[in-house]
Structure 1
């Protein structure tokens, strides 16, 4: 979730030289490029988070065990292309969500709001919430497509969509426009806490690495190390909301579009806690961390290079 205008990465120029409209396009493009590399981790994370849904620990089959074994399991079941399931929906989500986030955050910077105490965190959280709302339909389809697999490896509800557009058409026809925003109540808090945590920790983590002088001050490795350290805090606060969001998006619905498993964010949290235990709220933690660090750094790297070309 790279919103770094207040604290540019080492080696980047002042982002005020780029207008919010240009930042919108470049930021979204950078995140989409990063998504191509990190989408396989998203597939594995989704499967792990759905595994054992509403079943007591130790009573359900576990086709996915651990990070490396899960990647191999996905490849065996769906082929190597299965590791890029839902890529089109992931790209659409990254484009929509981050274009709104970058644009809103750029406007906040221009207005001087990020110079106020706590302004960076608040602006990042609000921009993230708006982006999550706009991108929610794409995230819904992404989750459902990534969950789909052969019967013996299936976890969670199987929706049997054929494509991004086909999935949206089916949801629209069966549940109406509101059906495309089902589960948004879990997505908005997820992005808000993730954006706020990242903005609150990335700059200080990067400064700490620079103070240790382990790496050349102008090296991109400083941003990489800072991003990986910051990602620990981000994943710690974000993963429970991520698990809930995945469950809400993937659950089956009745004829009126109401979820058959969970009534909402709070109900999902309580059911996971009671039936699967507190550790279930951190399912997919490994892939989530390994995805977030590289995704953040790749996004920042691509964003910086695209901005240089734009100048």
Structure 2
């Protein structure tokens, strides 16, 4: 499979998944900004949990509000996951992750390959992620959290950001996004690939007790591996996701500098000092609820599209 096809299939899989999970991304973003730099009990709780948040958004913003920021979200998925899954598969095809099913060094190589693909892809998709955050945060003043940016559409956001900070303003906070991408991708793809190869390795030797449940090339192996990847992603990435969201959404000065945080370490420090460890895990619930179906859908779509392409390509030969 050529590199262009790998990128295209990765992007297509991510877009399909995002259409289903974007509402959870909306409530996750708002819950992560709720009570920013305030101790528990010193701010109004507009979003008590995932389902209450979905109800509240629908009540004040309408059903369209549930899917707010979908355009930049899809743009982010195309640019980020297309690059991430495509580049990761290229590294797998090059043999950089060989031995993951039986050697610790192979597992580390998989984590590194997944992390690097995540870091590069998040740097590429950073402008879309920032615009998505701005639009998903914007809401009725009665339930507003975080700084409320004025733009309502992706085009308007690009115009305002470039007009205020120049083209470089589109990559404000990209360093946090890159770190988030490295940690999240290493956790997700590392767990997904390791789990999948473990079961395939065991089944090939008829030593796994699920051998009689999963047939060869069963989609259930991909689904189970995706769920493990989703849990790993939610646990390791949430603190970095909170910091990333806050850096992207903060108000800036005329010179383009953040008014709340100077950078990644400053945001971590201020959030922990004001809100404790719970502050760094805000939005954990919708993140996990979103990540599970998104990870499963994205990686299963990816596997299915790649299998279908291989079969189609083989039939042409």
Correspondence for 2:102: none
Partner Cα distance (1:167, 1:215) in 2: 50
Higher relative contact order (CA 8 A, sep 6+): 1
Partner Cα distance (1:226, 1:121) in 2: 15
> Shift in Å at residue 37 of structure 1?
0.3
Correspondence for 1:300: 299
Q: Are the equivalent residues in 1 in contact too, given 2:222–2:300 (CA < 8 A)?
A: no
Correspondence for 1:4: none
Partner Cα distance (2:183, 2:304) in 1: 28
The structure whose Rg is larger is: 2
Unaligned runs of 5+ in 1: 1-17
> Shift in Å at residue 204 of structure 1?
4.3
| Change beyond 3 A, Cα 1:212–1:293 | farther
| Change beyond 3 A, Cα 1:277–1:157 | same
Correspondence for 1:290: 289
Give yes or no for the alignment of 1:130 onto 2:116: no
Give yes or no for the alignment of 1:240 onto 2:251: no
Correspondence for 1:10: none
| Change beyond 3 A, Cα 1:231–1:212 | farther
Give yes or no for the alignment of 1:192 onto 2:182: yes
> Shift in Å at residue 127 of structure 1?
1.1
Q: Are the equivalent residues in 2 in contact too, given 1:239–1:288 (CA < 8 A)?
A: yes
> TM-score w.r.t. structure 1 length?
0.89
> Shift in Å at residue 38 of structure 1?
0.5
Give yes or no for the alignment of 1:42 onto 2:25: yes
> Shift in Å at residue 212 of structure 1?
4.5
Correspondence for 2:173: 183
Give yes or no for the alignment of 1:95 onto 2:78: yes
Partner Cα distance (1:149, 1:54) in 2: 20
Partner Cα distance (1:232, 1:287) in 2: 12
Correspondence for 1:60: 43
Q: Are the equivalent residues in 2 in contact too, given 1:20–1:102 (CA < 8 A)?
A: no
Number of aligned residues: 294
* Equivalent residue in structure 2 for 1:174, among 148, 164, 181: 164
Partner Cα distance (1:70, 1:240) in 2: 20
Give yes or no for the alignment of 1:107 onto 2:90: yes
Partner Cα distance (1:131, 1:47) in 2: 24
Partner Cα distance (2:111, 2:282) in 1: 27
> TM-score w.r.t. structure 2 length?
0.87
Provide Cα deviations, 1:114-137, integer angstroms capped at 9, x if missing partner: 227322211111111110001000
Higher mean C-alpha deviation, range 264-273 or range 216-225: 216-225
Partner Cα distance (1:70, 1:212) in 2: 41
Higher mean C-alpha deviation, range 209-218 or range 267-276: 209-218
Higher mean C-alpha deviation, range 283-292 or range 101-110: 101-110
Partner Cα distance (2:31, 2:157) in 1: 22
Partner Cα distance (2:34, 2:18) in 1: 23
Unaligned runs of 5+ in 2: 100-104
Q: Are the equivalent residues in 1 in contact too, given 2:88–2:117 (CA < 8 A)?
A: yes
> Shift in Å at residue 208 of structure 1?
6.1
Correspondence for 2:13: 30
Give yes or no for the alignment of 1:274 onto 2:273: yes
